[in-house]
Amino acid sequence: MTDTDLVAEIETLGAKLGEAKASITRRFVGQEAVVDLVLSSMLCGGHALLLGLPGLGKTRLVDTLSTVMGLNGARVQFTPDLMPADILGSEVLETATDGSRAFRFIKGPVFCQLLLADEINRASPRTQSALLQAMQEKTVTIAGQPHELDAPFHVLATQNPLEQEGTYPLPEAQLDRFLVQVDVDYPDRDTERDILLATTGAQEDEAHQVFTAEELINAQKLLRKMPVGEQVVEMILDLVRACRPHEPEAGEAVNAAVAWGPGPRAAQALMLTTRARALLDGRLAPGPEDVLAMARPVLIHRMALTFAARARGDDLGAIIADVAETSLKVRSAA
C-alpha cells in the first residue's frame, strides 16, 4: 500500500466514523466524549469499562453501538449468584435415538461480538475471572476443549462507582484487560433537555447500521498502519514510566502517592488510542494533544494510590494530569 492509498483509506474511514457517530447520537443524546472513548476502544480492538451511576444511558449506548456497528450483541446482568457456566456455556449429556450418549456444548452469551457485562462488580471473583481468557485471548476453554469466539469480540462492562455493598472489586489483572475506563457523568442542562425531548415523545429516533463486522475488522487493521511520530512515541514512554513509583522518571508526587503504576500494556493502549482519537478527529496521525487526552482513561484503572495517599484525599486523576503536562513540556523543549 502506497502512502497515497493509505491517506485515502484513512480519510474514507474517518468519514464513515463521522456517519457512525451521527447515527449513535440519534439515540444516545450528548456525551460526545463518552461516545468517542467507546468508539476508540472498539477501533483498537479492545474493551471498555464504563463507570457511572444508574440511569445515565450506559446500557442504551451499548445497545445503540450494537446496531450502528453491525455486531451481534448480548447482555449479561451480573449478580452474586451468577456462575461461570452462565456466561461461557456448559456441556450437557444427550441421548440419541439409537440410545447412544454424548456430550454437547451449549454456548453461553459470551459467544457474541459485543458483550454488555452489566454491573460486572456484582458477580463473585470466580465469575469475573471467567471473562479473563475471553477478553485477552478471544477464546474460552470448556472441559479442556478450546472454543473460538466470534470476531470481532468486545466487552463493554458497566460498574456503579459509588455503591460498595454486595459488590466485589475487580482484580488488577482484569482491570488491565480493559483498554480504557470511561467515566459517564451527569449531562449538562442543555443536554438533559435534549434527552427529555428525544426520549419521552410518542416516537424515538432510531439508529441505523453504518458498519459491518468485517468493515470494523478492516478498520482495526488500518488503524495499526497509521504513522506515529517519534515525539509522540517518546512522550508515551515518558508518561507511562513517570507514573511508576521509584522509576528514574518518576517525580516526588508519584513516589509519595502511587502504590503501583501502569505496565507495558498501558503504553500499548496509549499507542493505539492516540491513533483512534486522531482518526475520529479527521487527522492522519496523532499528536501530543492526543496523548494528553487519552492519558486519564488509559492509565487511571492501571494505577492505585497508597493507603496514606487515600487518607490525605489525593486524586489519582490529578496526578496523571500533572505527569502528562510535565511530559508534554519535556518533549516540547527537546
| Mean pLDDT, range 141-160, rounded to an integer | 87
Q: Where are the domains of the chain?
A: 1-225, 227-334
Higher pLDDT, 2 or 112: 112
Confidence tier at 202 by pLDDT (50, 70, 90): confident
pLDDT of 93 strictly over 90: no
Architecture of domain 1-225: 3-Layer(aba) Sandwich (3.40)
pLDDT tens-place string over residues 317-326: 999 999 999 8
Q: In terms of DSSP bridges, do strands 48-51 and 154-159 run parallel, antiparallel, or are they unpaired?
A: parallel
DSSP 190-231: HHHHHHHHHHSSSS---------HHHHHHHHHHHTTS---HH
pLDDT tens-place string over residues 6-34: 889 999 999 999 999 999 988 888 788 89
Q: Give the domain 227-334 fold.
A: Helicase, Ruva Protein; domain 3 (1.10.8)
Confidence tier at 163 by pLDDT (50, 70, 90): low
Distances, alpha carbon 329 to alpha carbons 230, 322, 325, in Å? 15, 11, 6
Confidence tier at 41 by pLDDT (50, 70, 90): very high
Confidence tier at 264 by pLDDT (50, 70, 90): very high
Q: Is the separation of the CB atoms in 110 and 67 below 8 Å?
A: no
pLDDT of residue 276: 95
What is the chain's mean pLDDT, rounded?
88
Please state, in angstroms and rounded to a whole number, the distance separating the CA atoms of residues 28 and 204. 11
pLDDT of 164 strictly over 70: no
pLDDT of residue 95: 78
